[in-house]
Chain A
Amino acid sequence: MATVTPAMASLAADVDEYRIALRAWLGEHRAELTQPPAATRAQHIANGLALTNALWRAGWKRVGWPPSVGGVGGGPRHRATYYDELCRAGFEVPDTDLSIEVIGPAMLHFAPEVAQEYLPGLLAGEEAWAQAFSEPEAGSDLAALRTRGVLTGDTVVVDGQKVWTSHGHLASRLLTLVRTGSTESRHRGLAALLIDTDTPGLTRNPLIFAGGVDEMCETFFDGVRVPADRMIGVPDRGWDVAMYMLQYERSMYAAQRQAWLGHRLRQLVAYLDRAGSDNATAAAIGAAWLQLQTVRARVIESVRRLDAGEVIGPEASADKILLARAEQSIFEVARHGERCRFIFDESAADWRAGWWYSRATSIFGGAGEIQRSIVADRVLRLPRDTEGGR
């Protein structure tokens, strides 16, 4: 397979040329990039890493990232185009791309040296990372997190517990949010820390998702010693990092997810073809398609804004709400379109897994209720629900 060529740098200057060239290349190399379906979650991650690595070596994955981390320039529009084209060619967006989009830009922004040293391993598909923010007592209320990070000399000693970490048990590094301030410091006393999962004192247990796979894990930190130069940003300012991430987590994740959902919806049309004469199914799939086009149009706007260097504020919650709605609609059609097959048949396992996952899309990364509260508070400026009365 070809290695990076100087032509790649010129494609980084033009999104349309990049799309056309990538589409052609994926068409040519589709067979050699295609892997047998993964039997386990670990294999699924490994498949994603292999695909990413092939695209990194061929240069395509380098577009959208700066030279300091092995890239050739370009930005979010290129990356969104990359996800579009992968899915158009029938590939799933590798799991690690969620970590890439959430962690990469924030790391480049707040800790360019850390990014330079570690990010290439993630981008190149050599390592899987995960984002470990949630805790047993800090889900939607992230600022309530309790995992301590005590800075002692050039080491941060971490004690506590994280939970619901997507693919955390299969990751070699975790981006965590730990408390460096007092217990009452809320969002003012946090720090973002990159922790290697083979560090002594760190133990993980996989958690089985309702769909039947080990999708997530819980992690225990018992005196885990982390070099202080693994901090993203400065102590007590981790909330800034988390907020910066959110605009990518809501918009860029939506960009990659809508690409994948486009592929799933096309598969669904084929899967349900026999039921196609049913007007209710046609109406439901039409509605799902329109919802998907709506979120796509919305994230096109958001990605262009990110590409232009704009900061996306509370309005990014709309992207997240629209995405969850579209994803849930698509898998509801899968469920109702051929109900018995969906419930009982082995051939529908993939649709069942997708349906369970779709229920999580309005929970992770800030529950739907949080997103609606953000819109109510910060976009519509409605009275706060903490205001007086009964």
Chain B
Amino acid sequence: MDDKLKALVRDSLQQALAGSPKDVGAALDEFGWREFVDTDEAFAFTALFEEQGYLAADTNALDVAVSAVLRLDGNFPAIWPLGGSSSGGEIGGSGELFVDGVGLRGGFGACATVLAPVGGRLRMLSLSSIEEATLGGMASGSAGVHVRGWGTHIADLGPWPAVERRSLLAIASELVGVTHRIVDVATAQVSTRRQFGRPIGANQSVRFRLAEAYVEMVGARALIAAAWEDGSPASARWAKTVAGTAHDAAAKHAMQVCGAIGLSEEHPLPGLVRRGLVLDALLGSGWPEIARVGRDLFAAQRDSDTTAELAAAAVGRF
């Protein structure tokens, strides 16, 4: 795929995502996003979710992406785990399943066909009983809902880690998109806002903070690209962790340099901060992951005679 086509795809994605449509599936299907998943999955995901993050669009794109990867006929909502890698389980030996997680869209109604990771597999379920509640805290105002439901198994769609890896990378790219927007918003503001007779962005401390934010963003973006090539579940988890860390660092720099207005609801920044925090929490927050990476390194070291195993774990190739 050449650069010109990639730019066209990004334009189309921006149009599809504009205004956070309730269901972005139809618009994505219409311009053939699924075909790009077939030809260049990494680009299709990276572009869609970076654009979604940048536009702060609150859509069901992640659901649509999962259905595209699985080549399902139609787009199905998923029940996403907030932490861990399961959003449900079996009730006794009854064969009945329960789910408890986040839906990207409300309005499930009385019954629904949904996807959910249960016991290491991605399952398609028919829910016959659903409780739906709005999300609170940092997610209040978002389209997402807390879903609890009970139903029966329809189909086993394969191992969850394969889908989880792509979902983690999707969320990581969305975090990069949000971070990019934060850098742009802050850069624009400090370039025009004047104090002491010059733009505040002419002060070294402000310039350095935004340079740091930029470096965080491009580092996370590179790790996502390497993780797509690499294909390992671990590297996808690292990429999401690093993207969450990058967002956090950039958000703090921006909250400082944008001053009081940057902490008011008149400013786009609080929304971009909240969005990043919610994305970081989705499928497991980065904070505990950092220590887990360290513990995994110690464990791998104890299990092997040489350091070759750890060397093999390094992401990507030249």
Contacts and interface: CB of A to CB of B under 8 A. Distances in A.
Interface of A: 15-16, 19, 76-77, 80-81, 84, 88, 90, 255, 262-263, 265-267, 269-270, 272-273, 276, 279, 281-287, 289-290, 292-298, 300-301, 303-304, 315, 317-318, 321-322, 369, 371-373, 375-376, 379-390
Contacts of A77: 318
B192 to A, nearest CB: 9
Contacts of B308: 88
A301 B214 contact: no
Interface string B283-310: 0000001111111111001100001101
Interface stretch (B17-25, B140-148, B222-230): B222-230
B164 interface: no
A283 B311 contact: no
Nearest to A307: B318
Interface of B: 183, 187, 190-191, 196-199, 201-204, 206-208, 210-212, 214-215, 218-220, 222-223, 225-227, 235, 238, 241-242, 245, 289-298, 301-302, 307-308, 310-311, 314-318
A387 B219 contact: no
Contact of B318 (A267, A303, A379): A303
Q: Give the residue among A16, A283, A290 with the most B Cβ atoms within 10 A.
A: A290
A255 B208 contact: no
B238 A293 contact: yes
Given A289-B297, A387-B199, A380 B311 contact: no
Contacts of B210: 376, 380, 382
Contacts of A390: 196-198
Which 8 A/B pairs are nearest by Cβ-Cβ distance? A389-B198, A282-B294, A286-B294, A286-B293, A297-B226, A376-B207, A266-B307, A276-B298
Q: Give the residue among A270, A287, A300, A376 with the most B Cβ atoms within 10 A.
A: A376
A361 to B, nearest CB: 15
Given A266-B311, A322-B219, A389 B226 contact: no
A373 to B, nearest CB: 7
Given A297-B223, A298-B218, A300-B317, A282 B298 contact: yes
Given A84-B318, A276-B298, A290-B238, A382 B202 contact: yes
Contact of B311 (A88, A276, A304): A88
B208 A283 contact: no
A321 B211 CA distance: 10
Contact of A301 (B222, B307, B317): B222
Contacts of A292: 314
17 contacts: A15-B317, A80-B318, A81-B318, A88-B308, A266-B311, A281-B294, A285-B297, A286-B290, A286-B292, A286-B294, A297-B316, A303-B318, A318-B214, A373-B207, A375-B214, A376-B208, A380-B211
B307 A263 contact: yes
Contacts of A371: 211
A287 B199 contact: no
A225 to B, nearest CB: 42
B297 to A, nearest CB: 5
A387 B195 CA distance: 12
A318 B218 contact: yes
Contacts of A389: 196-198, 202
Contacts of B316: 296-297, 300
Contacts of A293: 223, 226, 235, 238, 242, 314-315
Nearest to B300: A269
Contacts of B214: 318, 375, 379-380
Contact of B315 (A88, A270, A281, A297): A297
A298 B307 contact: no
B301 A266 contact: yes
Nearest to A369: B208
Contacts of B199: 383, 387
Q: Give the residue among A262, A287, A380 with the most B Cβ atoms within 10 A.
A: A380
Given A290-B238, A387-B198, A387-B199, A321 B215 contact: yes
A332 B197 CA distance: 41
Contact of A384 (B202, B212, B215, B292): B202
